[in-house]
Amino acid sequence: MKIPTVSMFGYLRNAGRILKNPLPFHHENFEKYGDIFQVHIGFGKKIIFVRDAELAEYVLQKNQKNYQKSEIQTKQLAKYVGHGLLTANGKHWAKQRKLIQPAFHKSFLAGLLDAVQKAINTEIERIPPNKKIDVFPIFNDLAFQTVVKSLFSSAASQEEINRLQFITEAAQKMLVKELRQPFIRWWFYLGGSIKKHLDLTREARHILENIVEERKRSNQKHGDLLDMLLEARYEDGKPMEKEQLIDEILILFTAGHETTSNALSFICQLLAQHPETQTRILEEVKLAKKDNSRMMEFVTSCKFTQQVIEESMRLYPPAYFIDRVNIEADDFKRIDFPKNSSILLSCFEIHRHKDYWEDPEKFNPDRFSGKENHSSHYFPFGAGPRKCIGNNFAMFEMILTIAEVVSRFQIDLKSDAIELKPLITLKPENAFLKFSPR
């Protein structure tokens, strides 16, 4: 069974709109060809696009050993953030995952929640009341500060934090240009754009190296993620090498703040469209604060707030596609996948597929009340052994943030539609809201 193909001419003809927002192009082809099609991007290279949840589950879980991360992560992203957990494959990935996993156990995260809450409160206090504002910069800073405080406590200066945030975001924008315009990548090299951003990455690594060395010299324990990473040992008893440690920290910055800030922005836009949902969250949060003195108890008791977050991430998954390459030739549902096929699993399309969801375009948090199991077609954090290691951290952070925002403000919508800006992750565009104090 042959995979329907969009020709290279069709791809080049749509290059401009793909650069701006590829989602409409993807959707049109899924509607035309079905749940799988491929795009010829030149030089004999094709990319397979998938919105078949069974195939996604097969690739991510049932036959995951035959599917590894693509060069998008292992080479192109890695040149900016190093070879950490997100960009690693095979034995190196397994070794790093086993080493770092304890730092993200719920028992350890419970000790970070007070620092997380403090960082959240500081950033929420910056929200100007009764004014039309783009909420994304607020949540972008909030998510970055939360990662920094969880990693470093107070070890990094505000100047260093600001610089790290700038470099992290600049590198991502450069990578998006490379991925969406592969036919002029040579120009990015000759014109010096890639060198400029690699120089920025080296600057970030130097900042982190100084922070790590200062922590080692201090011989003080702060109970943060940096302590945990410095104390972690491989099976042979050896710690991470300095360069590997910095790789992992850069990955935590990139993955840890980017997806969360996007999700929080989309959640607040949806809440503005559904004031009755804000009321339900407010009632739940008041009761949870009354009945629970510990942060972890509070977070786990905010069941409906978590449902709102899960439904928001269904409609607007920050990681809106997952890329894989098969090591050996494979077949699924009478479709052959030659060795080294580039496969993009569209979480955005799977999460809105009418075969998997009742009234898929509707915002309905109650679909996550536990009455139905959506695990086979819901991948906001990926799935299988490579499921995002920080999923619990991200969920706790988002629950605390939404609980605090709704407790303080009534959120009103100041733009007609939720606009999208797909980069490496799915970002909001023109997320203008008004926050009225309660």
- pLDDT per residue, tens digit, the chain (438 aa), is 899 999 999 988 998 888 888 999 999 999 999 999 999 988 788 999 999 999 999 999 999 999 999 888 898 889 998 898 889 999 999 999 999 999 999 889 999 999 999 999 999 999 999 999 999 999 999 998 898 889 888 777 888 888 988 998 888 888 888 877 777 878 888 889 999 999 999 999 999 999 999 988 888 888 899 999 999 999 999 999 999 999 999 888 877 788 999 999 999 999 999 999 999 999 999 999 988 778 999 999 999 999 999 999 999 999 999 999 999 999 999 999 999 999 999 999 999 999 999 999 999 999 999 888 899 999 999 999 999 999 999 999 999 999 999 999 999 986 678 999 888 889 999 999 999 999
Beta strand pairing call for 67-68 and 45-50: unpaired
CB 140 within 8 A of CB 257: yes
What is the pLDDT, as a whole number, of residue 242? 92
Beta strand pairing call for 5-6 and 36-42: parallel
Q: Which distant-in-sequence residues (6+ apart) come within 8 Å of 231 by Cβ?
A: 239
> Which two tokens mark 408?
């303080």
CA–CA gap between residue 96 and residue 78 (Å, rounded): 15
Of 204, 200, 106, 198, nearest in space to 148 by CA: 204
Alpha helix (H) residue ranges in 65-192? 71, 78-81, 90-100, 106-109, 113-124, 136-152, 158-180, 185-190
CA–CA gap between residue 249 and residue 85 (Å, rounded): 10
CA–CA gap between residue 404 and residue 289 (Å, rounded): 11
Per the structure, the complete domain to which residue 240 belongs is given by 5-437
What is the identity of the amino acid at 121?
Answer: N
Looking at the 3D structure of the chain, how many domains does it have?
1
Distance of CA 183 to the CA centre of its chain: 27
CB 97 within 8 A of CB 266: no
DSSP 125: T
CB 85 within 8 A of CB 389: yes
Please give the full DSSP string across 339-387, using - where no structure is assigned. Answer: TT-EEEEEHHHHTT-TTTSSSTTS--GGGGSSSS--GGG--BTB-GGGS
Q: At CA 425, angle to CA 94 and CA 354, rounded to 5?
A: 100
Say which CATH number the domain at 43 has. 1.10.630.10
The pTM of the full predicted model, rounded to 2 decimals, is 0.92
Helix (H) or strand (E) holding 272: helix 242-273
CB 301 within 8 A of CB 423: no
What three-state secondary structure class fits 82? coil
Cα–Cα distances (Å) from 9 to 6, 32, 40, 41, 44, in that order, read: 8, 17, 8, 9, 13
